[in-house]
C-alpha cells in the first residue's frame, strides 16, 4: 500500500455513532494508510434512545447522562478505527443533540439546531485552520435521512469550506451517501439469512442515492472488521448482526464492502476510487 503520509482529511458528523455508521470503513482505511484523519462530532447525542435495558436510566428522560456515556463509546470507536484526532464542535457539550424533528428537544436552549449558524461555522473554521485538511466529508443537504442535526452539520460544513477552499485550503468536499444498488443487494442477501435478528425492510424504506449520482466508491473490504468493532462500541445506539446492524428501531441495515460519496466541490480527476486521487 502506498503510504499517504501528509494527506489530511476531516469528517464532520452530528452525533457519536454517525462517523462509524456512514464512514467508518473509510476512516479506518485512510488511518491505516497513514493519512491524518480527524473526526468532528457536533453534539454528544444526549437525546438518543437506549438499547441495553440496564443503561436505560442514563436517558434524557431520567438521569440525562447519555451524552457523557456516548463520549466513552466514541473514544472506543476511535480506537477501533484508528483516527488521528477528534474534536467536539465548540468543545464537548457546547451543542446539545436536538432530537428528531418536531420533538421537544428541538427547543432546548443549547440544541444544535437553535445555535447561531455563524458561531457554529466559525467554530468549524477554527478546526479547519488548525488542522488544514485537503479533503472534507459531511452529509448532503437532507442530512442523509433528514435528522435536523445532520442538516445543520451539512450547512456549517458547506459554509466553512466555501470560506477556506483553494489551492492551499480545502480542495475537495464530499457528501457521504448510501448506494441504492448496494443497499438493494445487501437487503436481498439479508432476506435469505435466517440468522438476522432484525426486521429486514423493503428497499425503499432506507434512504439511498441513485448510483448514477455517486462519484466516489471507497473499497473498505479490508477494514470491515474495524467498522464492525466501531459499530459495537456504540452499544447504546447500535446492535450488530451478521453482515448488518440495526439502530434502536430494529431495522436491519446492510454493511457493503464499499462506502459511497458524492464530490460536490473540487476536481473530479482521480476521485472515483480515492478521496485524495489526483490531488
Ligand X SMILES: CC(=O)N[C@H]1[C@@H](O[C@@H]2[C@H](O)[C@H](O)[C@@H](O)[C@H](O)[C@H]2O)O[C@H](CO)[C@@H](O)[C@@H]1O
Contact positions vs Zn ion (CB under 5 A): 14-15, 18
Cβ 153 to ligand X shortest distance, Å: 10
Q: Which does 48 bind (CB under 5 to 8 A by kind): Zn ion, ligand X, none?
A: ligand X
Q: Quote the cell numbers at residue 51.
A: 438499547
Q: How many residues bind ligand X (CB under 6 A)?
A: 16
Return the number of the residue (18 or 229) whose C-beta is nearest Zn ion.
18
Scanning 45-53, 168-176, 207-215, 256-264 for contacts with ligand X by CB under 6 A, the matching segment is 45-53
Q: Which does 237 bind (CB under 5 to 8 A by kind): Zn ion, ligand X, none?
A: ligand X
73 binds ligand X (CB under 6 A): no
Backbone angles phi, psi at 81, to 5 degrees: -90, -25
Residue set of the binding site for Zn(2+): 15, 18, 150
By CB under 6 A, the residues from 83 to 102 that bind ligand X are: 97, 99-100
On whether the CB atoms of residues 179 and 256 are closer than 8 A, the answer is yes
Burial class for 184, CB neighbours closer than 10 Å (0-12, 13-18, 19+) = middle
48 binds ligand X (CB under 6 A): yes
By CB under 6 A, the residues from 180 to 239 that bind ligand X are: 237
CA 37 from centre of chain: 13
77 binds ligand X (CB under 6 A): no
51 binds ligand X (CB under 6 A): no
**Bridge partner residues of 263 (DSSP):** 174
On whether the CB atoms of residues 33 and 63 are closer than 8 A, the answer is no
Return the number of the residue (48 or 254) whose C-beta is nearest ligand X.
48
- b/e per residue 221-259 (b: at least 16 CB within 10 A): eebbebbbbbbbbbbbbbbbbebbbbbeeeebbbbbebb
- Who's near 239: CB < 8 A, 6+ residues apart? 51, 197, 198, 245, 246, 250
Cβ 12 to ligand X shortest distance, Å: 14
What would the DSSP string read from start to end of 156-173? Answer: HHHHHHHHSBSTTSB-EE
Q: Hey, what's the torsion of the CAs at 268, 31, 181, 271, to 10 degrees? A: 10
21 binds ligand X (CB under 6 A): yes
Judged by CB under 6 A, which of 18, 140, 229, 259 binds ligand X?
A: 18
Scanning 41-49, 76-84, 86-94, 162-170 for contacts with ligand X by CB under 6 A, the matching segment is 41-49
Scanning 14-22, 106-114, 165-173, 218-226 for contacts with ligand X by CB under 6 A, the matching segment is 14-22
Cβ 197 to ligand X shortest distance, Å: 15
Return the number of the residue (47 or 274) whose C-beta is nearest Zn ion.
47
> Which of these, 175, 170, 182, lies nearest to 206 by C-alpha position?
182
By CB under 6 A, the residues from 128 to 187 that bind ligand X are: 147
Interatomic CA distance for residues 279 and 267, integer angstroms = 8
Residue numbers at the binding site for ligand X (CB under 6 A): 15, 17-18, 21, 45, 47-49, 97, 99-100, 147, 237, 247-249
Amino acid at each position: 500500500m502506498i503510504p499517504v503520509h501528509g494527506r489530511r482529511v476531516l469528517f464532520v458528523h452530528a452525533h457519536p455513532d454517525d462517523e462509524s455508521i456512514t464512514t467508518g470503513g473509510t476512516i479506518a482505511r485512510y488511518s491505516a494508510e497513514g493519512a491524518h484523519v480527524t473526526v468532528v462530532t457536533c453534539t454528544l447525542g444526549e437525546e438518543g434512545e437506549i438499547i441495553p435495558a440496564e443503561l436505560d436510566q442514563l436517558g434524557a428522560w431520567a438521569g440525562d447522562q447519555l451524552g457523557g456515556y456516548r463520549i466513552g463509546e466514541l473514544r472506543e470507536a476511535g480506537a477501533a478505527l484508528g483516527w488521528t484526532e477528534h474534536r467536539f464542535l465548540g468543545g464537548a457539550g457546547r451543542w446539545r443533540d436536538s432530537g428528531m424533528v418536531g420533538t421537544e428537544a428541538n427547543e432546548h436552549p443549547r440544541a444544535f439546531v437553535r445555535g447561531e449558524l455563524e458561531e457554529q461555522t466559525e467554530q468549524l473554521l477554527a478546526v479547519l485552520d488548525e488542522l488544514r485538511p485537503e479533503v472534507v466529508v459531511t452529509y448532503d443537504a437532507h442530512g442523509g435521512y433528514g435528522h435536523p442535526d445532520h442538516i445543520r452539520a451539512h450547512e456549517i460544513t458547506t459554509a466553512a469550506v466555501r470560506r477556506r477552499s483553494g489551492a492551499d485550503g480545502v480542495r475537495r468536499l464530499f457528501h457521504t451517501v448510501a448506494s441504492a444498488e448496494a443497499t438493494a443487494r445487501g437487503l436481498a442477501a439479508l432476506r435469505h439469512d435466517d440468522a438476522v435478528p432484525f426486521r429486514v425492510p423493503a428497499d425503499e424504506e432506507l434512504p439511498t442515492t441513485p448510483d448514477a449520482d455517486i462519484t466516489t466508491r471507497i473499497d473498505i473490504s479490508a477494514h470491515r472488521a474495524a467498522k464492525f468493532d466501531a459499530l459495537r462500541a456504540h452499544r447504546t445506539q447500535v446492535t450488530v448482526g451478521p453482515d448488518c446492524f440495526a439502530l434502536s428501531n430494529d431495522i436491519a441495515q446492510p454493511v457493503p464492502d464499499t462506502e459511497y460519496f458524492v464530490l460536490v466541490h473540487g476536481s473530479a480527476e482521480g476521485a472515483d476510487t480515492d478521496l485524495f486521487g489526483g490531488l
